[in-house]
Structure 1
Amino acid sequence: MAVAEPSRTGSPPRFLLLVFVLLLTATDEAVAAGGLSIGINYGQIADNLPSPSRVSMLLRSMQVSKVKLYDADQNVLSAFLDTGVEFVIGIGNENVSAMVDPAAARAWVQQHVRPYLPSTRITCITVGNEVFKGNDTALKDSLLPAMKSVYQALGALGLQGQVNVTTAHSLDIMGSSYPPSAGAFRPDVVPYIQPLLDFLSAARSPFLINCYPYFAYKDDPDGVPLEYVLFQPNARVTDPATGLNYDNMLYAQVDSVYAAVQALGHTDVDVKISETGWPSRGDPDEAGATPQYAGIYIGNLLRRIEMKQGTPLRPAVPIDVYVFALFNENLKPGPASERNYGLFYPDGTPVYNVGLRGYLPPMDESDATRTAIQLFALIALASVITLVLS
């Protein structure tokens, strides 16, 4: 093997170029190998957010392995090509009815899914979000047919088994959630949920639920123990029917959904948390919306996720959670809390410290600059390989 001569031009030694390449690719390899098991909701109802390419660098520097969108933003999906990050993409409520038409569903999949696979890891499509929370009967009636059309479109393109189809629900679909073993869906949604569960079972797709213990505390701060909703030491709650002990409300909420699903005849559908979070700021009547409590909730939740904990009812199944949300979103309607669920401000500064360290590149770092750096790195790598083989 030839021995490299010392540099005579002042350029860095070739082994340093190899180190540079390894540093450039180490983050993506870590994400592909697993990264953080936490998922993050990446909402974009704001006019001051960083570009998707900068967000890609931020999330990759945090080694976040799962991202959930509320749409199928082409700029976002393109920014995460070949990063190993797993994506849930969405079809908004406004487009659900159109997806009932198989041709429309197939066109949507061809435009928003097929071009990005396998370079972007799209693993799930949510059709609608919290559809049963409103009073739109036509939307409710369209949901399952739309899900079936999208599922069939995936099959026609050979993508079934790679991409799941489901929808996310608000916890207010529950008619009863306490104790967890008495969990039951509201009578008015059961006619919709029963066939939907049959579909999820056949398609091997999860049941997604948006769980916010914060809402329970906000509505009754004197009656709901703060420690119980923040994963702090507390007296625990025992389910009298099962004898299972709960040390936090989130797990109790998830198990109540499992009980409701089982009551409709299904033990073969996994329940996953598609949203949970805690606001760092709110209106005067929104009790508990502070950076301190938000940091405690998210920090303790992250620790339990990393411990791969399951709920008392499903202790062997680690909870699967998508935290809401990546950024504060300044254009979201509603009370102040709605605009303050983010882990980060739009400039990349953490809203509170839970140990998630990330790097948001400066605004003047253009895509062209990054492309040039990556090209330089590839040339350097090729040079090193040539040297080794020579």
Structure 2
Amino acid sequence: MEFSRLNYLSSVLVFFISAFFCPITVTPLGINYGQIANNLPSPNDVIPLVKSLGASKIKLYDADPRVLKAFANSGVEIMVGLGNEYLSKMQDPDKAREWVKSNVQAYLPATKVTAIFVGNEVLTFNDTSLSDNLLPAMQSVHQAVVDLGLDKQVTVTTTHSLAVLETSYPPSSGVFRKDLVGCITPILNFHAKTGSPFLINAYPYFAFKADPKQVPLDFVLFQPNQGIVDPETNLHYDNMLFAQIDAVYSALTAVGYKKLSVHISETGWPSKGDENEAGATPENAKKYNGNLIKLISQKKGTPMRPSCDLNIYVFALFNENMKPGPTSERNYGLFKPDGTPVYSLGFTTNTAVGNTSISGADGSSPTNSSGSLPPTTNSSSSGYLSISSAVTTKLVQMVPIAALDDLVFDRDLAKKMVLGHMAIVAKHVKDHLILLKMLALFVLSTRLL
């Protein structure tokens, strides 16, 4: 017999054993999937990249039908967006209903659309026509969701810049800008009534960029540092993002909405910038996003809300070559348009997507053996994120049971190989009942062999 076939089959069996006893944990990680570019892969080819990060959610800036169709039955939750240009139109109940019906209901339940954000950072645009239209548009879209019977699965919200805060340091002193309290309070009341989260875009990078000599780089990159202590609460902060989030909680508490949940709809770090954009390097981006994703996977809260899981969307999935503004705006992506990483995140990641790997062995950005082409649509989208401290499991392609009849091999040798693999897994298992279950699986596997 061919030894490679035997090894292949035993690997299939040990995959089931490993998956059963060492389950893959799906993190609450979200990824912003922007498309202001002319060189991005098709949405079908994006799914394996999202899953390779261990992400369970994506956030769109529109309701692109190509993406919504592609992500059907993927298990990935999707937040769709209504741009600021839609605010005036969405006040009309009929137009809001038609939009929700065409862009959300039409794709349910196969595509897991779970939220709609209406408007992006509207209150800090200093445009009264936009800010005046925001809440009525949110209310109209929410009513459409209710009328269509979708309110148990789809929430309506909006995103805000951290600039809605008057002060954010120390975290306990966080308050909303005085000129915005009048319009933001009714929005908070909307969230309280509908159960939707308060979304904030928070970028410690901007604080460092504005004053690199005074803002400690390790503090913004989640690196080991002395941190700060809030003099009012005596809470210790070892990173700026947590301090910013807690400043938002303080601001909500100050206006009577302490119980609202806060989600971070955008945060990230650019890998490249102009000369005056301090800190925009691949090394810093790797540290920020890599350390952030590790924190998210640990499901720890902030010092002020330690029991609340972090709900964070990293910005962004791809570098977007058509975004206006400074160089950094086009270089927030975790991936290049060809599907290769911009930098290694420091994770051991295995995917069954063509020949693309998320992390090079030397920490460099790998390329696939076929050049710069993204994964093909008929490739498996299975993949997972493994933090360096976790047990790494390799995913292999599954074969139909019927195909086993075509293999001719030495049964005794096959059993020895399966037992050898099981012994490796057993080193990580202490519970006797689990070991008995493993033995039962072995008996089943010998019958297959």
Q: After superposition, where does 1:1-390 map in structure 2 within 5 Å?
A: 35-355=26-346, 357=349, 363=373
Closer/same/farther in 2, CA of residues 350 and 233 from structure 1, 3 Å limit: same
Q: Secondary structure, in 3 states, of the residue corresponding to 1:50?
A: coil
Q: What is the CA RMSD across the aligned residues, in angstroms?
A: 2.7
Tell me the distance in 2 between the aligned counterparts of 1:382 and 1:69: 41
Offset of 1:355 from its aligned partner? 3.6
Q: Secondary structure, in 3 states, of the residue corresponding to 2:278?
A: coil
Q: Secondary structure, in 3 states, of the residue corresponding to 2:179?
A: coil
Closer/same/farther in 2, CA of residues 360 and 346 from structure 1, 3 Å limit: farther
Indicate conservation of the 8 Å contact 1:236/1:248, yes or no: yes
Tell me the distance in 1 between the aligned counterparts of 2:64 and 2:79: 11
Offset of 1:252 from its aligned partner? 0.4
Report how many aligned residue pairs link the two structures.
Answer: 358
Tell me the distance in 2 between the aligned counterparts of 1:322 and 1:62: 12
Cα deviation digits, residues 216-273 of structure 1 (max 9, x gap) = 0000000101111111121211111111111110000000000101111112210111
Higher CA-based Rg = 2
Tell me the distance in 1 between the aligned counterparts of 2:401 and 2:81: 38
Q: Secondary structure, in 3 states, of the residue corresponding to 1:261?
A: helix
Indicate conservation of the 8 Å contact 2:29/2:54, yes or no: no
Gaps of 5+ in 2: 355-369, 381-396, 405-449
Tell me the distance in 2 between the aligned counterparts of 1:379 and 1:318: 38
Indicate conservation of the 8 Å contact 1:348/1:360, yes or no: no
Q: Secondary structure, in 3 states, of the residue corresponding to 1:297?
A: helix
Tell me the distance in 1 between the aligned counterparts of 2:195 and 2:234: 30
Closer/same/farther in 2, CA of residues 101 and 381 from structure 1, 3 Å limit: farther
Indicate conservation of the 8 Å contact 2:265/2:313, yes or no: yes
2:419 equivalent in structure 1: none
Q: Secondary structure, in 3 states, of the residue corresponding to 2:134?
A: helix
Indicate conservation of the 8 Å contact 2:45/2:376, yes or no: no
Q: Report the residue type matching 1:187 in the other structure.
A: K
Q: Report the residue type matching 1:315 in the other structure.
A: P
Tell me the distance in 2 between the aligned counterparts of 1:97 and 1:381: 57
Q: Secondary structure, in 3 states, of the residue corresponding to 2:303?
A: coil
Q: Secondary structure, in 3 states, of the residue corresponding to 2:313?
A: strand
Offset of 1:300 from its aligned partner? 1.0
Tell me the distance in 2 between the aligned counterparts of 1:354 and 1:379: 31
Cα deviation digits, residues 96-127 of structure 1 (max 9, x gap) = 11111111110000000001111111111000
Q: Secondary structure, in 3 states, of the residue corresponding to 1:189?
A: helix
Gaps of 5+ in 1: 1-11, 372-376, 385-390
Closer/same/farther in 2, CA of residues 122 and 141 from structure 1, 3 Å limit: same
Cα deviation digits, residues 159-181 of structure 1 (max 9, x gap) = 11210100010111111111111
Closer/same/farther in 2, CA of residues 38 and 181 from structure 1, 3 Å limit: same
Indicate conservation of the 8 Å contact 1:106/1:153, yes or no: yes
Closer/same/farther in 2, CA of residues 154 and 241 from structure 1, 3 Å limit: same
Tell me the distance in 1 between the aligned counterparts of 2:134 and 2:246: 25
Comparing 34-43 with 291-300, greater Cα deviation is found at 34-43
Offset of 1:61 from its aligned partner? 3.8
Q: Secondary structure, in 3 states, of the residue corresponding to 2:178?
A: coil
Offset of 1:379 from its aligned partner? 12
Indicate conservation of the 8 Å contact 1:61/1:359, yes or no: no
Q: Report the residue type matching 1:333 in the other structure.
A: P
Tell me the distance in 1 between the aligned counterparts of 2:165 and 2:374: 48
Closer/same/farther in 2, CA of residues 65 and 253 from structure 1, 3 Å limit: same
Tell me the distance in 2 between the aligned counterparts of 1:284 and 1:315: 38
Tell me the distance in 1 between the aligned counterparts of 2:25 and 2:325: 36
Comparing 69-78 with 298-307, greater Cα deviation is found at 298-307
Cα deviation digits, residues 302-360 of structure 1 (max 9, x gap) = 11111111101000112111000000000000000000000011111111111454566
Offset of 1:37 from its aligned partner? 2.3
Tell me the distance in 2 between the aligned counterparts of 1:365 and 1:270: 37
Q: Secondary structure, in 3 states, of the residue corresponding to 2:142?
A: helix
Indicate conservation of the 8 Å contact 2:339/2:374, yes or no: no
Tell me the distance in 2 between the aligned counterparts of 1:383 and 1:227: 54
Q: Secondary structure, in 3 states, of the residue corresponding to 1:168?
A: strand
Indicate conservation of the 8 Å contact 1:41/1:323, yes or no: yes
Tell me the distance in 2 between the aligned counterparts of 1:151 and 1:335: 36
Offset of 1:58 from its aligned partner? 2.2
Offset of 1:370 from its aligned partner? 6.8
Aligned-pair identity in percent equals: 55
